[in-house]
Amino acid sequence: METVITRENYRQVYESLIIRASDKFEIPPIVLRVNGSVIGTLGNFSASTGKGKSKKTFNVCAIVAAAISGNKVLEYEPSFPEGKRKVLYFDTEQSELHCQNVMRRINLLAGLPVDYDSELIEFSGLRKLSPHNRRNMIEFVLSDNPEVGLVIIDGLRDLLYDINSSTEAQEVIGLLMRWTNEYNIHIHTVLHLNKGDDNVRGHIGTELNHKAETILQVRINANDWNISEVHPSFIRDKPFSQFAFRINEEGIPEIAEDVEYTQPGKIDQVDYRTLSEATHRQALDNAFDVSDLNPDPDPLTYSPLLSKMIEAYAKAGFSRQLGVHKNLLKHLV
């Protein structure tokens, strides 16, 4: 726990904070690379960001599978030192069943039996706890696991009560900074992007941008909704070449080849009147499963209809405010 600074002990604490030109510091061990670029070191933290349904958790599964297997998964190359191979995975959003599905997906990616309980990973669901107790639980578990090298916090937003509180945001980022330094670990967390743009959400997103070692952006490919792209949104090392993955028939992410990548800002600049008929049809087919409808279904009212459209078009990368979708509905009619 952080030392309380008082008049009596401030000099001792201050002396421990002084950095001298003659000091000798060890280079932080590199634990994660992508195509030769360093994305993770012990003592720092990184993040996966993306909009809803962009498959951020699938991306995180690949990182964890690489860490526990010691092998390259997708484009993630691990190099965790002996004695720091263990992974702690904290999920703040999903039910126990969904958490188990994520863990089984990690096993398959790591080349393990689907129901194998590896000693190299502990997966816990913090959904039932308050934000304050989530923070405390992570703190206590870290203090009791010196062999941990990688910590996943899937749902950074859920460590706060108010995502728009600058004070809380600074406190949580301060925790990440202290935890990584004090326990010599790498933390990788997950945070959503705003629906209308590519900015991370709230004050916590702003703080994350300023302090993270690497921020990965996961987004749906503009030409194929079944493909997700991973871009280095921010990286202290040299930027790596973007890569893409798709989900195979077993529900496992695999590298997608020969991808025509989305150009930055391409989708955001597209007006609904210039979208192709094929794109509109694909979005509407995604929103409304005709096979599930009764022969004489009750018509949807206006608001539920708009909600379905907003979600469907967002999956295509066309994420806009409510007013735009109202005009889009008129255009379609």
Give the rounded distance of the alpha carbon of 200 from its chain centre.
11
Q: Burial, 317: exposed, middle or buried (Cβ in 10 Å; 0-12, 13-18, 19+)?
A: buried
Question: In whole angstroms, what is the distance from residue 309 CA to residue 286 CA?
Answer: 9
- CA–CA distance, 42 with 151 (Å, rounded to integer): 11
Name which of 230, 234, 235, 205 is nearest 219 in CA terms.
Answer: 230
pLDDT at 267 (0 to 100): 46
Residue 232 CA to residue 164 CA, distance in Å, equals 25
Residue where the block lists tokens 């916590």: 204
Angle, CA 315 vertex, CA 311 and CA 321 arms, to 5° = 50
Alpha-helix runs per DSSP H in 190-292: 202-211, 277-287
89 Cβ contact list (under 8 Å, min separation 6): 64, 102, 103, 121, 122, 123, 124, 151, 152, 154
Domains of the chain: 28-255 (3.40.50.300), 272-332 (no CATH)
Please, are residues 41 and 303 in contact by the beta-carbon 8 Å criterion?
Answer: no
At residue 240, the 3 state secondary structure works out as: coil
Q: What is the pLDDT of residue 325?
A: 79
The Cα 232–Cα 213 span in angstroms is 11
Predicted TM-score of the model (pTM): 0.76
**What is the C-alpha to C-alpha distance for residues 258 and 265, in angstroms, rounded to an integer?**
21
Tell me the pairing of strands 186-192 and 45-50. Answer: parallel
Euclidean distance between CA atoms 285 and 190, whole angstroms: 30
Element (H, E) at 231: strand 227-235
- Average pLDDT, consecutive stretches of 10 residues, N- to C-terminus, the chain (333 residues): 82 90 85 95 94 90 97 96 96 93 96 94 96 96 96 95 92 96 96 72 86 92 84 91 92 90 56 70 76 60 84 77 77 80
Q: Measured between alpha carbons, how far is 217 from 198 in angstroms, rounded to an integer? A: 9
